[in-house]
Amino acid sequence: MRILIDERGKKYLVNAEKDFQSDLGIIKKEALEEAQPGDTLLSHLSREFKVIKSNVNDFIELMERRCSILLPKDIGIVISYTGLGCGDRVVDAGTGAGAIALHFSNVVGEKGMVYSYEIREDFSIIAQKNLDQFGIKNIELKNQDVKEGIKERDVDLIFFDLPKPWEAVDIAFGALKTGGWLAVYAPYIEQVQLLKKICKNAGFENFNSLECILREIEVKVKGTRPKTRMVGHTGYLVFSRKL
């Protein structure tokens, strides 16, 4: 999968099997097929497009979606906090557009596996289309309600982004290996309070919750300062471990 970046910095996901068209002109498919990352292509209007090799963040930015997705600031904490690594097995629910599953897939690699549950068929169709377009082989998408059961056993991480995640805590405990993590995204503090009680009753330990607030730094000729606008609260991240 390749990405084109035009003179304005706008990105495009490219299908090299057909001509590329934008308001800055047309690039023939023959030129796209022969292009390598780092090349600069000219449209028929003599406008420049830089070719880069896409990574998971590029693809998620450009892929089709009809729902909100978790931001990298939250996903990164889940990955680092739980120690997710190459060869691990993950259960993810709900899939949405597939962004979280793609991040997990990128970390666990070809030796790992991600099993993603999505109850809504319309979301599942879009997510599967995205996975196929990116050529992902280590994600199995299931159009199923995770509360009806998790078939997989001895998984390393289970991640819930669900309206009522506490309804599947017992199911998660049974599917995790000893030492495995349950991570939950919860928009409201009342959900965190309820999750702590239910996780404890299910047998989980090492309960912890946190919030990540991200503020970028603005660098200008006249000075450097924090940006006046920032990504504030998105949700709480809840972690429990099966020991």
Binding positions = 118, 145, 161
Rounded to an integer, what distance in angstroms lies between the CA atom of residue 39 and that of residue 188?
Answer: 47
- Cβ atoms of 71 and 103 closer than 8 Å: no
Q: Is 138 left (phi over 0), alpha (psi -120 to 50) or beta?
A: alpha
- Please count the CA atoms within 13 angstroms of the CA of 212 that sit on its side-chain side: 15
DSSP alpha helices (H): ranges in the chain? Answer: 29-34, 56-62, 72-82, 99-108, 121-134, 169-175, 189-202
Binding positions for S-adenosyl-L-methionine = 118, 145, 161
The phi, psi pair for 126, rounded to 5°, reads: -65, -45
Q: Which residue in the block uniquely carries the two structure tokens 């057909």?
A: 18
- Cβ atoms of 34 and 2 closer than 8 Å: no
Rounded to an integer, what distance in angstroms lies between the CA atom of residue 132 and that of residue 128?
Answer: 6
> What burial class does residue 195 get, using C-beta atoms within 10 Å of its C-beta: 0-12 exposed, 13-18 middle, 19+ buried?
buried
Rounded to an integer, what distance in angstroms lies between the CA atom of residue 166 and that of residue 100?
Answer: 20
